[in-house]
Structure 1
């Protein structure tokens, strides 16, 4: 994963900076996610691992994408093909989305709770997280009854575990040490 990110990051940054400068962030996001889907297609995976030249790969890829890419998007694909990096497009799209969220001052938050949360609880949680993170929060909720009670909130690398299962686990570790 780290090699994937290391290789993809400069492409994502370059695409994002260009998108910001040309005021086309949404269009670039759509193009990158479309190309990521193309790369993930099983037939395309075989083609990308074949012994085709960079130019052949770029032409084939652009033919598949047809009207989904503007001229700059096509040039981006050609550069990635020349550098043998087309297979990294899904990670480029993910990193681009993260840069877009950072630019918009928003963050995705995963909330796993033991039971469904009410609208009021979700609003309070959202407001609290927005205050703590100084960003607009997009909640993605799911239910896991094994938590017994409470919830686990994940924001990037930050994990807030207020579940009964987590508390019992920490108590058990404390008692065993």
Structure 2
């Protein structure tokens, strides 16, 4: 997974920087989402794994995208095809989206808890995270009854794990040392 991110990151940054310089971030995001959907299509996935020539795959892909890609978008696709990296386009799109949120000073935060959080708890948690991260927080909550108690908060690279399982593991490690 991290290897995929490492490969996709330079493409996402280049696309984001180009889109920013030309003030068309939303259009670039739409192009990337559309092209990513084509990459994820099972038929296209087979073609990408086949022994077809790179130029043939690139031309076919751009023909399928038709008017959904401008010249610059086509150039990105051609570079990715030439480098054998077109299959990472969905990850490029994901990283591009993260860069957009970062530019807007927003972050998506995933909260997994043992029980549903009340509206008041969500508000307090959002305010606390916004203060800590100095970003606008978009909170996504889910429930995992196997946690017993506590919650796991993931915001980009930050992970806050206050689950019972995590606390018991720390206690066990302390007692064993």
By the TM > 0.5 criterion, same fold?
A: yes
**TM-score normalised to structure 2 length:** 0.90
Residue 80 (structure 1) shift: 1.9
Is residue 113 of structure 1 aligned with residue 108 of structure 2? no
In the other structure, the counterpart of 1:45 is 45
Is residue 9 of structure 1 aligned with residue 9 of structure 2? yes
Q: Is this contact kept in 2: 1:153–1:159, CA < 8 A?
A: yes
Residue 110 (structure 1) shift: 1.0
Q: Is this contact kept in 2: 1:114–1:145, CA < 8 A?
A: yes
Q: Distance in 2 between matches of 1:173 and 1:84?
A: 45
Deviation per residue, 1:127-162 (Å, 9 max, x gap): 100000011111111111122222111122322122
Q: Is this contact kept in 2: 1:62–1:74, CA < 8 A?
A: yes
Q: Is this contact kept in 2: 1:146–1:165, CA < 8 A?
A: no
Between the two proteins, the alignment pairs up a number of residues equal to: 177
Residue 43 (structure 1) shift: 1.0
Q: Cα distance 1:160–1:36, how it changes in 2: closer, same or farther (>3 A)? A: same
Q: Distance in 2 between matches of 1:11 and 1:160?
A: 30
Q: Distance in 2 between matches of 1:5 and 1:152?
A: 23
In the other structure, the counterpart of 2:158 is 158
Is residue 135 of structure 1 aligned with residue 135 of structure 2? yes
In the other structure, the counterpart of 1:176 is 176
Is residue 31 of structure 1 aligned with residue 56 of structure 2? no
Is residue 93 of structure 1 aligned with residue 93 of structure 2? yes
Q: Map of 1:64-75 to 2, 5 A cutoff?
A: 64-75=64-75
Q: Secondary structure at the match of 1:9?
A: helix
In the other structure, the counterpart of 2:55 is 55
Q: Cα distance 1:5–1:163, how it changes in 2: closer, same or farther (>3 A)? A: closer
Q: Is this contact kept in 2: 1:147–1:166, CA < 8 A?
A: no
Residue 75 (structure 1) shift: 2.2
Q: CA-atom RMSD, angstroms?
A: 1.7
